[in-house]
Chain A
Amino acid sequence: MVSTRENTVSAQALPAKGRSPWADARRRFFRNKAAMMGLVILVFVALFAIFGGYAAQWSNEELDYNVMGQVAELGGPSFETGHYFGTDDLGRDLFARTVQGTQISLAVGVVGAIIACVVGTLYGATAGYAGGRIDGLMMRLVDIFMAVPYMFVLILLLVMYGRSITILFVGIGLISWMEMARIVRGQTLSLKGREFVEAARATGVAAPVIILRHIVPNLMGVIAVYVTLLVPLMILTESFISFLGLGIQEPLTSLGALISEGAGTIAYGTTWQLGFPLLFFCLTLFGFFFVGDGLRDALDPKDR
């Protein structure tokens, strides 16, 4: 309603100034209260992950011998000892560990989402553009992959090829591209009949170039939405595996591994060891889900 009136007013008063679809989407996004809250949370978490290390008075590897053995009594959160979030079971500073865990969880989420997105987009766009029997075969393959209990296969991979962080990063991305491929294929099908694609084909542009130069850029909105929604799912997957003790290995840590440690010691009254990692875990997920939903409302043509 408001935008219509604005449009008429500006059309009368000023020489018509076009608004790009992106500017439109940006306006919609910034008006969305939940999305803005998500953005604020994400900025906070990111600042914590990047600069938190400078605020810590202990490194993430140092053992505090004063609290060792008496973690439940002396290791609680306090400013006097410099352990803002308390210490973990071995006497390491939980603040520094949480900073490190947040960094790694964010990294896994972003890297995994990017891998899933690149594979899924290329696969889906190829299938959709090729069409016909190739499309049928490629999408049938996706159906088959979707039915695989991927978490078990990922754990199988991790155990067989050593629990390295690279395999974790790549593996998480490689098991989650199928949904993306389906979405991109659907959008490609509707794009490939359009005039600009036809024109490109008529002038003899090769199929891979058409896909990369003409189709994929037009899908950027959809891709951006699903990447944002994929990040929290990647973080969930990584945390799940780390919770089982099969993911990130010491001395590295992730939010899932910290939650696992904290969950293992709650019986001794060290609730803060569960609470702080959990808080940052939930905040991160909340942030990404809200921003993703906001982006979808702003960019996805389906819901308008």
Chain B
Amino acid sequence: MLSFLVSAIRLGMTFLLGSTGETITEKAGHLNLGTPGVMCVGAACGCFVEDLYLSQTGLYADPVIAVLLPVAAAFIGSAVMGLLFSFMTVTLKVNQNVTGLALTTFGVGVSDYIISQTGLAFQRGSKFFNASFSFAEDLGWFGELFLSHGFLIYLAIFIALLTTFVFNKTKIGLHLRAVGENPATADAAGINVSAYRYAATCIGCGISGLGGLCFIMNYLNGNWEYCIDAIGWLAIALVIFTVWKPSIAILGSIVFGGLYIANTYITGFTIQDNELFKMLPYIVTIIVLLFTSIRDSKKNQPPQSLGITYFREER
């Protein structure tokens, strides 16, 4: 049970990073269906740099740099993807859905290519990522559940809380929400809509990309798997689920994580039934989707201009 919860949390934080990033992007009015691709790229960039760093330093790798360097690489690589998305949708004003899907194709390709250059094993780097408080073990179940995780896990929660704070309590958050709700109004109020959309998308993608890295390093312990894009789609689903609130997403993501791995922890099933069990997170997503839409409330609506390209001189 305990190891199930620990795994659920680790996988959950992957979802959390992915969905927090997507939430930031969506709050600015961008529906980025490229997030699965972005998360792939984030993971690949992080792993690549980790590999490079560890091969350079040999045995004496600095544990702090061994974490921060790949994290920075994942963030930057993903943010570049966000830049590409913004260039297409803000500067060239083309359809967001189509651009997003193309970005996913492109991102999966890029990450596969990068990984083809490094191999699939990053266990050594993963050790640095999963390094935690030394006293965690002394605290029994409490320690293992809450304190045994690596840096990225806590970073994920911190980012989610910080994002909530920025959305609700700061001027930047107010402006960002205005841009996503009603860009024409924001524009007339002197807010640079394009700049906000660019920045939110790049930062959002950067955070989503960390989710990809978290998946490989923290959850899979450094064994690369080609399924990050599926995780990415669930991260997008999580955004709607948690009604664009990263604070709610902290819990929601752990539930998602639990559902996703439940099949490996419930014993007594054949291998075939296992495949059926893997449907669970998707079915639950659909059920929650149905619930939220039936209980349609005014407060929990997506940003009003989500997915709509803004052009000031539109008449």
Q: Do A and B truly interact? A: no
